[in-house]
Amino acid sequence: MGERPVRRIARAGLFVVALQLVPHRLAASDAIPFFDGDVAATAPLERAVAELVAQPLSRHDFPTGSPVLNGEWLFATFMMAGMGFG
């Protein structure tokens, strides 16, 4: 009867450790070129953002189901583009 709480604690500890390690390892491998400043990796993203913000956008282009969130997405799109392009 004393093993059950120990097993639960061990399982919970293993879950927490896995939660800290696994997502990072899966996502980090694809991100390395971006952090290394690889222009070939970032160029397609830059072109896509430039094309998006070059056209006239409105709240209706971001159908989240909430007019407030639509406006926030509109604002954030231009703000993040401005920050990215400097």
Flag whether pLDDT at 30 surpasses 90. Answer: no
pLDDT band at 3 (very low <50, low <70, confident <90, very high): low
Token readout for 63 is 């159908």
Flag whether pLDDT at 2 surpasses 90. Answer: no
Flag whether pLDDT at 13 surpasses 90. Answer: yes
User: Which residue would you say has higher pLDDT here, 26 or 19?
Assistant: 19
Contacts of 24 (CB under 8 A, 6+ apart): none
What's the pLDDT score for residue 22? 86
Flag whether pLDDT at 1 surpasses 80. Answer: no
What's the pLDDT score for residue 86? 72
Flag whether pLDDT at 85 surpasses 60. Answer: yes
Token readout for 49 is 């953002």
